[in-house]
Amino acid sequence: MGAATRPGGAEPMAVAIQQLDASLEPPAYAYPGDAGLDLRSVEDVTLQPFERATVACGFAMALPEGHAGLVVPRSGLAARHGLSVVNAPGLVDSGYRGEVKVVLVNLDAHEAFAIRKGDRIAQLVVVAVPSVTLEPVEELPGSSRSEKGFGSSGVS
């Protein structure tokens, strides 16, 4: 897809990519305005129920400092086949220069799932991440939520 302006008028950010398998299409947006770049499998893999595998995507990249890549499941594969990313979201740090890989899991209890070379298996969302300096304090400032945790807001 071309270097069209994204919604909100933001210009695309250039990211250096090294295609390690020239037979694969590089990561790309399926539709204008999509948040995630589709990642493709470089290999054939069949995942049995509840089995996981690390699947290579055939490229390496150099994300700019201050950015990270979040590897997330494809919603259609998750809904129809139970295919997910084990450590969702997976994290690609800006300093990483190795091949991008996805740790997939088949959560379907009954059916195996076959992945073929070139299949779209996950998405990569590039996000800005601030550098954080932790400042130890004796007490945290208050908030309306306070210490309310898991399930504290209810279901309905």
pTM value? 0.86
Q: How does residue 7 score in pLDDT terms, banded at 50, 70 and 90?
A: low
Q: Specify the 3-state DSSP secondary structure of 68.
A: strand
Q: Report whether pLDDT(2) > 60.
A: no
Instruction: Output 17-22 pairs: Cβ under 8 A, ≥24 positions apart.
Output: 17/59, 17/60, 17/61, 17/62, 18/59, 18/60, 18/61, 19/58, 19/59, 20/58, 20/59, 20/60, 20/99, 21/58, 21/59
Q: How does residue 85 score in pLDDT terms, banded at 50, 70 and 90?
A: very high
Amino acid identity of 105? V
* List of domains in the chain: 13-128 (2.70.40.10)
Cβ count within 10 A of residue 11: 9
Smallest CA-to-CA distance from 35 within 43, 45, 27 is with: 27
Contact in structure between 67 and 94 (CB atoms under 8 Å)? yes
